[in-house]
Structure formats: C-alpha cells, structure tokens
A and B are shown apart, each in its own frame.
Chain A
Amino acid sequence: MAAPLTLLLIVAVTIRAALFRSSLAELIAERVEVVSPITAWKRVVEGLALLDLGVSPYSGDVFHETPLIIYMFHFLVDYAEITFMTFVFGALCVCICFFFIYLSLMPFQFRKQKFALEADRYPMDSLELIRSPKEMYYVPLKVAMFYLLNPFTILSCVAKSTCGLNNAVLALFFLSTIKGNVLLSAIFLCLATYQSIYPITLCAPAMLYFMQRQYIPVNFHRVSFWWFIVQYLFMYLGSLFVLICLSFFLLGSWDYLPSVYGFILSVPDLTPNIGLFWYFFAEMFEHFRLFFLCVFQINVFFYTIPLSIKLKEHPVFLIFMQLAVISIFKSYPTVGDVALYLAFLPVWSHLHRFLRNIFLVSCVLLACSALFPVLWHLWIYAGSANSNFYYAITLLFNVAQILLVSDYFYAFLRREHHLTNGLYLKRKDGSEATLILK
C-alpha cells in the first residue's frame, strides 16, 4: 500500500512540476475552463499589485478573493517557488485528506453493516452487496489516484487556481468530520463558507453525521437534537463571525463583502466558463434578470432540504451529492470543483452494478472536455464560430454531470432498497421482478 502510494505521489508531483516548467503553464492559466474570475491566479497577483500601490484591492472589479487569502499571499508572493509549492501542497493535502477520510470511514461503515447483519436486519442474499475488507483495501489508493491524476486537478493546479485551496479546506472539513472532531469540523466548514458561500449547505450533512455518530436521534421533539444543532451552529457562526471581523480589521473596511459575496451572488462578470450562468445572463432581458438570478441561486441551496431528509441516514453520500450540486449549479464553476466530487467516485465503487448509463455519460464528459478548447479557439481566435458553439458544449457538459450525479443517486437508493429487501426480488408468482420508481 505504501509503495504504490509513494509512486503515485512521485508521478503526480513530476507531472505538475514538468507542466509548471513548460510553456504550457501560461496557456493553461488563461483557460476559462480552469480559472474563474474568483480563482484566477492572475487576479490574485493583480490584487497584490494593487495592495503594493496602496489601493484597496476591492476598490476595483478585478480582485474577488477574500482578504485572508490576499494577506496570506502578501507574505508569500516574493518567493515564486514557495507560491508554487503551496499549490502543490494544496493538491497533495486534498489527496491526503481524502486518503484519511477513507481510512477512517471504511472501518466505521463496515462495522455498522456487520453489526446490522448480525442483528439479522439485512436479508442473507444482500451479503453480496456488502464490500469485503479486501475489496476496500485499494479504495483509498483509487481515491488518491482519481484526484491526483485527474487532468482537471492537474490543470487546476498548474494554472495555480485558488480553487485548490478551497478544495483543501473542504477536504480538511471532511477529515475532521469523519474523525469526529466537532469544533475543527465547524471551523473548516466556516473557512470554506468564507471562501465561497456555497459550502454553507454542507452544514446539514456534517450535523447529521455527528448525530449519527453520537447516537442522537434525528427527531424534532427531542431536546438533545436541538441542543446539538445549537451547539454546532454556535461554533460555526461564531467562527464565521470571527473570520469576518478579522477580515474587517485586516482591511479596515467592509468593501470586501459586496466585492466577494455580492460578486458571487449577483454574477456581474459574464466571462465564459463551464457553468450555466454566463450565457444565460448575457442574453437575459434586463427586467427579468433579478428574477432569474434569484431562481438560479436558490436552486443551488434548495436541494439541501429534500436531500437531507432523504439521505439522513447517509451523511457521507449527502456530502457527495451536495458537492456535486454546488459544482454544477454554482455561478463561477471551474474544472477544479468538478474534480473534487469526481474524487469521491471510487468510494462508491460498490454502486457500479446499479449504474444505468455510466458509459454514455463518461463518453460525453470526455468529449466535452476535448471540445471546450476546440470551440473556444474557433470562437475567440479563428472567428469561424460564434458563442453558441461554446455555449452548446457547456450545456452538454452540464447535462452529462447531472446525469452522472442522478445516476449515482439512483444506484445508491437502489442498493439501499436491495439491502433491506434482498437482492433477488421475486414477484408474487415467483418470476423475477423488476424494480421501478413509483
């Protein structure tokens, strides 16, 4: 286990270092799929330059990172190599965190299911669905590989997108949640929220996970349930308050609030990206703009409630679903966000037998990834295509992502159904039954 992991790390670092040294690095850093107006390294450097000129970075509309990030880089930026290393570390950290998540996650999940089996809760023929420790042995390695060797992650890292940092904070949040550290979990979640509002929806799975772990029943009539929620929210909101005040004292003004969060929520920058917002709001009629803006933003947050109700027994899968929903429907998505939830896929390798259209979806995702630069070139440089071409590809890419996520959700629900009802279902007359959603 250690040897292949070391090899993997060496390969991953080599690829990144080679790309970083090559002339491709600048090209990658300009790609709209890889960097968004929030995460672009060029804009961070611009913010630093503004800071050096004595101008507030938030007085303009180029820099949209949070004050903590700018002051952190302000100390680091004199040493280009160190900055590069931080990004490599960012990527590695994410990988390692995943690794730990899984390490800690595995015995827990396994133990729970084993216990349930012994209690005769599961039918005997669903034993097939429960993974043996031998199968699960290589899953951490697969997760690491999926994240580290994913071209999306590599591109994002070489472009020095600050998305890597956000991913690292999120991974630390997963790790501390799985490890059962309530305070750290709240702090890391608050950091992630502070960076880009959307992770606030991860509050729900974190709380569900802790309650499951501490055997607190999810019941609205119990005091212990509410007490825990109040505790967690207090830690979460408290640290958010501290962070926001810290930023205020670092900067000396509240300018950053509209410039960071207003920018995320009101989508003034229509630079093309892989998301759904840019072309929609470029073509929007002015008097409907606010309405659709609200609809699209509520859409991101809204899924939290039904998903938490449906998946209250499975907070880890809920985290995955939330991450996927955020990265599909957020206002400035990049491939780095996609890579984060893709890294979860090996964890759900036991669902593969229930996936319906994984082949089609993965083909579409691959084809779209190849077509992004081609159509961009045709539109922007060659002038032989127009914006609709690029827009069509973003649509297709998002449809494929939606299909992928809903397919995994379907497979997960189906497996749960089989775990309780047995794998080989029979009709009343004894013939083989087919499951349908009703």
Chain B
Amino acid sequence: KIKLKCRALPPPPPIDGQNLGTYRTDEGQPWVLPVVKKVEQKIANDASLNHEYLPILGLPEFRANASRIVLGEDSRAIKENRVGGVQCLGGTGGLRIGAEFLRRWYNGTNNTATPVYISSPSWENHNSVFVNAGFKDIRAYRYWDAAKRGLDLEGLLEDMESAPEFSIFVLHACAHNPTGTDPTLEQWKQIAAVMKRRFLFPFFDSAYQGFASGCLDRDAWAVRYFVSEGFELFCAQSFSKNFGLYNERVGNLSVVGKDADNVQRVLSQMEKIVRTIWSNPPSQGARIVATTLTCPQLFAEWKDNVKTMADRVLLMRSELRARLQALGTPGTWNHITEQIGMFSFTGLNPKQVEYMIKEKHIYLMASGRINMCGLTTKNLDYVASSIHEAVTKFQ
C-alpha cells in the first residue's frame, strides 16, 4: 500500500471585493482602455498643444460633448440652447460645484436650510459634499428594502410626498451605489411625477454611463426622461469608470435650465465659485475624453471598450447566481443579476461577512456590498462555495 503524502495547501490569495470602485480584468488587474492609450500617445506627440490654463469652466469641446453624451444626440434641451456644462474634478467635483451653487442661489439666497435628500444607503461621500458646501439639513430617503432585497419604492415615494417643496434630491442615474438596484422605467416615471408635483429639485449623479448595461443611451434614460418632462436639473457626470481615467479626475456638471439666459447666469456664478476652489480644471483627462467623443472611429472603439467592461461584470453576475442556485444556497439570488453595475448588495449579514473575510479571505464591505470586478473566472467557484458556507453556517 502506498501512502500518499499531501502537502498542506497554501491559503488562497485574498479576493478583493472591497475595491473602491475601480474595474479589474479577469486577471485581477487594472485596465487602461486601449482607446485611451492611443489617444494619450496622440496628445503627447501633438506639438501644437500648449499648456495654457484652460478656461475656468473647462475645455469647451469637452463640456459640450460630455453634456451631449448624457442628454443624447437629439436632445431638445441642447437644440434649444438651454444646456451648460462645467468641467469639474471628477464626479465629486461636479457634485461640489453644484452643491455650492445651490446653497448660494437656490430657493432663496444663501439658504442653508433647504433640505437635501440622499438615498439610504448611498455613496458615503455624498453627505460630506453637501455638508461641506454649507447645507445644514441633510436627510435620508428610503431606498433599499433589505427584506425583499430590492427597491423600497413605496418608502421612497412617501418620503418624496412628505418632503418640503423645493427640497433637493440626489438621484443615482444608473447603477446605484452601493445597492446596484435601479428603479425600472415605470418606477422612474412615478418618481418624476411626484417630484414634479412637489417641486423637488433633481440632482443626478451619473458615474457609470455605459458601464452599467453596456449601452450609453440605456444608462442615461432616467436623466433624459426628466429633461423631456421639463425639469430643470443638474447632472454630475464622472468619466472615471467608463474611461478608466480614475486618476485624471474627469467630470462634467451638466446644467439644464428653462432657457439660454437662465443657464448663462447660472454658469457665470459657477465660474465665480470654481475660481476660488481650483481656479481652472486639469486638462489631460478632459482632452482624452473630448478627442475620443469627437472622432467617430475613436468613439466606436471607446464604446467597444466600455462594453467589454460591462459584459465582464454582467457575466460574473450571471455565473455567480447560477452557481449559488446550483449549490442550493438558502435564500433567493436573483438580485445578483437584477442589480446592475459595479456593486452588488449581496444581502449577507455582518456575521456572514465576517466569516467571508476571516475564514475565506474574501473581502467585502460590512454592508454586504461586493465589487463584482473582484470576481474572476478563476475564483467564481471559490466565492460561490464560500457564500454558500457563510449562509448555511450563519442564518
């Protein structure tokens, strides 16, 4: 009889599901989009470019095209010349400039008491941005229903009905962070109807256009719907994720107003605000985006790159769900594929999360939020079986 000696297996490498909102390839690596590399080379070799300060409101071709991307080619608002853009430092910068403006000029002058509603839960930084801009009354609106692992539409609408008129509502345009749960088209219509009736101000945060579904138009549906319903609104756009340009801080605050004159006055005040925060925005990221959006070939290539990222995430979702269902893991798991974007609220409770981290070296947030980009074809089985263990051990 031959005795086989088995060496003890080394512990598995940690799986980073906590990753703070950046994309990873199937090899677990950061990904510089091929179209971005191409355009960077082009820019570095362009001897005609100088390094003068950009205008305070930013690179004009970036602003115009960024607004066009979210509002659509056929946007009536753009045709009617009642859209403006402010180039900002990422989505955060867009939110901050918008917040600073609203605190100074919306619902009176310097009205710090205007309530600002942020979804419960939301990206942790939303709160800081509005507090630092001077707002004193930040409230939560109901959003995530933990029991049914979906949108608490009833609670959301109730909170909107009872909100004081002219309250500001921060809405996630798509791929809600952290729940990955978006209203359906019908649900958005209901939300818009209440907001219209109650004179509530929509401040969209659009950080994942294209990245969520793989389709730019689909991911911008909510913003466009509100515009078509006649709302004046702000939309803070980030190009960090859909261009993979996280560290060049590319953002645009789109302003939709009743007419050109209103937008012009708003932008003039925003210019004054920008002058005392960063004076002029940085050029590189905006130039890369503008160059890409204005060249049909590069634009097509970019859409393709974005779809690559979105498709990988969608694949990980469907594969994870399939495995959990095959394992017979207690509970329902369709929310994994019904949710969208980078993040998923798995529904794991704190004990289960602790088990995942301590025993299985799979790192997710205490809320049960996981970054789907941390999953790869190589670790799917392991993650699925670990979730299965966690859920069966700790109900």
Task: Tell whether A pairs with B.
Answer: no
List residues of chain A with CB under 8 Å of any chain B CB: none
